[in-house]
Amino acid sequence: MILNDLLKRISEKKKKLDSIQPFKKKAIKSLEEWLRVELTYSSNAIEGNTLTRFETAEVLEKGISAVISGKALRDQLEAVNHAQAIEFIKKLAKKRKYHTEITEADINAIHRIILTRIIDESAGKYRESEIFVRGSSVEFPQPVQVPYLMREFIRWISVQKKTHPVLIAAEAHYRLVSIHPYIDGNGRTARLLMNLILIVNGYPMAVIRAEERTKYLSLLEQAQLKNYLNPYYRFIGVSVERSLDAYINAVDGKPVISVIAETEKKKLKKFTPDTYAELLKIGELAKETDETIHTLRYWTKEELLKVSGYTEGGYQLYHPDMIKRAKDIRRLQSEKRLTLAEIKKLFV
Same domain, 247 and 161: yes
Residue at which a domain ends, from 199, 223, 253: 253
- Domain co-membership, 204 together with 332: no
Instruction: Name the more confident of 254 and 251.
Output: 251
Model pLDDT for residues 306-343, shown as the tens digit of each residue: 888 766 556 678 888 899 999 999 999 988 888 988 88
pLDDT at 190 over 90: yes
Average the pLDDT over 200-226 and give the result: 94
Same domain, 239 and 300: no
* Same structural domain, 83 and 111: yes
Tell me the percentage of the chain whose pLDDT exceeds 70: 88
Catalytic residue among 82, 173, 180, 319: 180
Q: Please give the pLDDT value at position 274.
A: 40
pLDDT at 111 over 50: yes
Question: Domain range spanning residue 269?
Answer: 261-347
pLDDT band at 262 (very low <50, low <70, confident <90, very high): very low
Q: What is the CATH number of the domain that holds 149?
A: 1.10.3290.10
> Mean of the pLDDT values across residues 270-284?
61
* Least-confidence region, from 9-13, 31-35, 161-165: 31-35
Shared domain for 241 and 111, answered yes or no, is yes
Task: Examine the domain organization and report whether 116 and 133 are in the same domain.
Answer: yes
Most confident of 4-8, 194-198, 312-316: 194-198
Mean pLDDT, range 120-131, rounded to an integer: 96
In a shared domain, residues 36 and 184: yes
Which residue among 221, 253, 285 closes a domain?
253
The alpha carbon of residue 17 and the mean position of all alpha carbons in its chain are separated, in whole angstroms, by 22
317 φ, ψ to 5°? -125, 140
Are 163 and 118 contained in the same domain? Answer: yes
pLDDT of residue 261: 41
- Binding annotation: 184-191
pLDDT of 142 > 60? The answer is: yes
Co-location of 311 and 180 in the same domain: no
Looking at residue 316, what is its pLDDT?
A: 79
**Residue 257 above 80 pLDDT?**
no
CB-based contact 20:30 (threshold 8 Å): no
What's the CATH number where 278 sits? 1.10.1660.10
Mean pLDDT over residues 274-286, rounded?
Answer: 72
Find how far residue 84's CA is from the centre of its chain. Answer: 17
What's the DSSP call for residue 64? G
**Of the ranges 78-82, 230-234, 277-281, which one carries the lowest mean pLDDT score?**
277-281
Distances (CA, A) of 211 to 44, 45, 145, 162, 291: 12, 9, 34, 33, 19
> Residues, the chain, total?
348
Report the chain's mean pLDDT, rounded to a whole number: 87
Distance between CA 296 and CA 318 in Å, rounded?
A: 11
Residues 281, 198 share a domain: no
The DSSP 8-state label assigned to residue 313 in this structure reads: T
Whether 147 contacts 87, CB under 8 Å: no
Q: What is the DSSP letter of 303?
A: T
* Angstrom distance (rounded) from CA 271 to CA 248: 25
Number of compact structural domains in the chain:
2
pLDDT of 136 > 90? The answer is no
Beta bridge partner(s), residue 331:
none
| Collapsed DSSP state (helix, strand, coil) of residue 102 | coil
Percent of the chain surpassing pLDDT 90: 61
Residues 203 and 244 occupy one common structural domain = yes
**Residue list for the binding site for ATP:** 184-191
Q: What is the mean pLDDT of residues 204-221?
A: 93
Domain stops at, among 234, 253, 272: 253
User: What band does 177 get if pLDDT is binned at 50, 70 and 90?
Assistant: very high
**Residue 164 a catalytic site member:** no
Per-residue pLDDT tens digits for 30-84: 788 889 999 999 999 999 999 998 899 989 988 877 767 788 899 999 999 999 9
Which residue blocks in the chain are alpha helix, DSSP H? 3-19, 25-46, 53-62, 73-95, 104-115, 146-158, 165-179, 186-200, 213-226, 230-251, 258-267, 282-289, 293-301, 321-335, 340-347
The answer to whether 44 and 75 are in contact (CB under 8 A) is: yes
State the pTM of this model.
Answer: 0.74
Same domain, 51 and 197: yes
